[in-house]
Structure 1
């Protein structure tokens, strides 16, 4: 995956979001937040390997299962396998160079 188009969306309530094939950020300065952009690039890779739509279905199902388990939005969100992989590796800017396909499976 090469360079992604980063789009500024000031109406967003979150700092960033990967919406294949784009990375959306809340404001211009976030375009330069390397950890945030790496986090979203990890999500783009996850989306690509699942052919996009199944990613969103699995993401939602994992969130709903976690919500049932933990009863809190933040805890449910942070325990989504895709988020665990992205948060655990967002500081490692070379992670995607060595990442194996479907690495998010290790976080279930």
Structure 2
């Protein structure tokens, strides 16, 4: 995991963004936020499992479908299976050591 701070790449309203192998943070003080970094580590694992590009395609399609149904961009984002897994387990700093492969499917 390579952590960089570059506020102009992170969309408004978000604190971080993961594009394998980078974790891009909006603010320097976020480097000390263990929960945020765990959330982003979960996304790194998801991206590796799907060989990166398919992850982003799946992510975009799932977001668009959920946005069409929910008609709320933020709610659609929070309902993406990748995000649901990351938010549900970001406080468990040992989660990735016990996580089974493709576990995000349990959140679909």
Q: Same fold (TM over 0.5)?
A: yes
Q: With structure 2 as the length reference, what TM-score do the two structures score?
A: 0.95
Distance 1:107 1:7 in 2: 29
Task: State the superposition RMSD in angstroms.
Answer: 0.7
Counterpart of 2:23 in 1: which secondary structure?
A: strand
Residues paired across the two proteins, number: 105
* Unmatched runs of 5 consecutive residues or more in structure 2: none
* Unmatched runs of 5 consecutive residues or more in structure 1: none
Superposition map of 1:1-108 within 5 A: 4-11=1-8, 12=10, 13=12, 14-108=14-108
Counterpart of 2:59 in 1: which secondary structure?
A: helix
Distance 2:17 2:41 in 1: 10
Q: With structure 1 as the length reference, what TM-score do the two structures score?
A: 0.95
Structure 1 stretches of 4+ moved >2 Å: none
1:2-31 C-alpha deviation (Å, 9 max, x unpaired): xx1100012233201111001010111001
